[in-house]
Amino acid sequence: MANANALGMIETKGLVGAIEAADAMVKAANVQLVGKEQVGGGLVTVMVRGDVGAVKAATDAGASAAERVGDLISVHVIPRPHFEVDAILPKVNVD
């Protein structure tokens, strides 16, 4: 069974690029920031959810923003991830 919301991911080398990407993504499209993962070796991945078009627009904007301030490693959109993928996604606490 697939999730109706797409999952967008941007991976950067360093936290500054990841924060810049996250900021650009949520400003560029109707998406929700759902996670940040520090993978190791300085790699940081930020994730957003929303409809496929919004997630694609958001990741495009986020990738451009990350490249301006740091090292962009990877960008990927999964249009309808299986519902079990949610179990491995980190959560962001927004206060």
The pLDDT of residue 62: 98
β-strand pairing of 32-40 with 43-50: antiparallel
Question: For residue 83, what pLDDT is reported?
Answer: 85
pLDDT tens for 20-79 read 999 999 999 999 999 899 989 999 999 999 999 999 999 999 999 999 999 999 999 999
Residue 48 C-alpha from the chain's centroid: 4
pTM, entire model: 0.89
In this prediction, residue 95 carries a pLDDT of 47
Query: Domain segments of the chain: what residues?
Result: 7-86
Report d(CA 94, CA 49) in Å as an integer: 15
Helix 52-69 × helix 15-28 angle, to 10°:
140
CATH code of domain 7-86: 3.30.70.1710
In three-state secondary structure terms, 36 is strand
